[in-house]
Amino acid sequence: MTIKFGLIGGGVMGEALLSRLIIQSIYQPSEVLVSEPDYSRQSFLEDKYNIAVTADNRLVFTQATEVVFLAVKPQILSAVAQEVADVISIEDAKPLVVSILAGVSLSQLEAAFREVPVIRAMPNTPATVGAGITAICLGAYTKANHQEIARKIFSAVGEVVEVPETLMDAVTGLSGSGPAYVAVLVEALADGGVAAGLPRAIANQLALQTVLGTATLLNETKIHPAELKDRVTSPGGTTIAGIAQLERAGFRSAIIEAVKAATSRSQELGK
């Protein structure tokens, strides 16, 4: 069977995407080729997913007919590009290249893979459980079918939004880094429960399910977060007392500044 999906880099995010694509039958195992330099990792991926593996990036570019997915460290992009340059130059039908390399711009990708359709993407770690959100931006050589391919791939691990490349650093600051902010919130809620006398296990369970349930409620009802806050907050009650303390501590401002700081750092790394 024809190889449709090529993956360069079989690490955590690459495997997360691969597993969802196969589970949802978006690609059959026989349509997948993964390039991974680590032999033990090769064996693991081959055995778990029944896919073809190689250490030759050139093979991925010559055999994948639909998409080549880049999930490597940004600093080795140039090495990969040099390795496959002559292969790309002689290929008439060039596969779409999708990159999740943090901080690597479309112009850098298009310089590395000349005249190849390129899409830059920023997924986040909940993608590993199919609950992520990915922002994509399109390169100069992409067409409508390439956009459809990217949406099909990233829909397997969550939701997809399309943004101009100028907003990718802000995406990184919000949804890319955001899972860490939420994890800190869950931890802080649990610590507060322990401080108020709850056993640690119960506090952790209450904190996690409260955040998960609230996010699910907001998502399914589509109500504004402020409206939900007002529904929970009764006059002179416990919730407004807690919110007043959050405001005194600058909670809202701290979250805003965290997103801005992460956005600025993303811009610095991109340079």
Please state, in angstroms and rounded to a whole number, the distance separating the CA atoms of residues 20 and 12. 12
Specify the pLDDT at position 270: 73
Q: What is the CA radius of gyration of the chain?
A: 22
Please state, in angstroms and rounded to a whole number, the distance separating the CA atoms of residues 5 and 16. 14
Are 127 and 13 contacting, i.e. CB atoms less than 8 angstroms apart?
yes
Residue 244, domain CATH: 1.10.3730.10
Specify the pLDDT at position 115: 85
Please state, in angstroms and rounded to a whole number, the distance separating the CA atoms of residues 31 and 89. 24
196-220 pLDDT per residue, tens: 999 999 999 999 999 999 999 999 9
Specify the pLDDT at position 128: 87
Specify the pLDDT at position 252: 97
Specify the pLDDT at position 91: 56
Are 3 and 31 contacting, i.e. CB atoms less than 8 angstroms apart?
yes
Specify the pLDDT at position 162: 96
Is 231 among the domain residues?
yes
Q: Which residues pair with 160 in a beta bridge?
A: 134
Q: Which residues have CB under 8 Å from 162's CB, separation 6+?
A: 135, 136, 137, 138, 147
Q: Which residues have CB under 8 Å from 52's CB, separation 6+?
A: 3, 30, 32, 33, 34, 46
Is 53 among the domain residues?
yes
Residue 69, domain CATH: 3.40.50.720
Residue-number span of the structural domain to which 188 is assigned: 176-270
Tokens 């939004």 -> residue: 161
10 and 125 belong to one structural domain: yes
> The whole model's pTM is what?
0.89
Is 66 among the domain residues?
yes
Q: How many domains, the chain?
A: 2
| Domain end marker among 120, 136, 165 | 165
Specify the pLDDT at position 90: 57
217 and 88 belong to one structural domain: no
94 and 47 belong to one structural domain: yes
Specify the pLDDT at position 73: 87
Specify the pLDDT at position 88: 75
Please state, in angstroms and rounded to a whole number, the distance separating the CA atoms of residues 83 and 11. 20
Specify the pLDDT at position 44: 95
Q: Which residues have CB under 8 Å from 147's CB, separation 6+?
A: 119, 136, 138, 162
255 and 121 belong to one structural domain: no
Longest Cα separation, the chain: 73
Residues of the chain with pLDDT below 50 are none
Please state, in angstroms and rounded to a whole number, the distance separating the CA atoms of residues 232 and 186. 19
Specify the pLDDT at position 89: 61
180 and 161 belong to one structural domain: no
Specify the pLDDT at position 85: 82
Specify the pLDDT at position 93: 65
What is the overall mean pLDDT for the chain? 93
Is 171 among the domain residues?
no
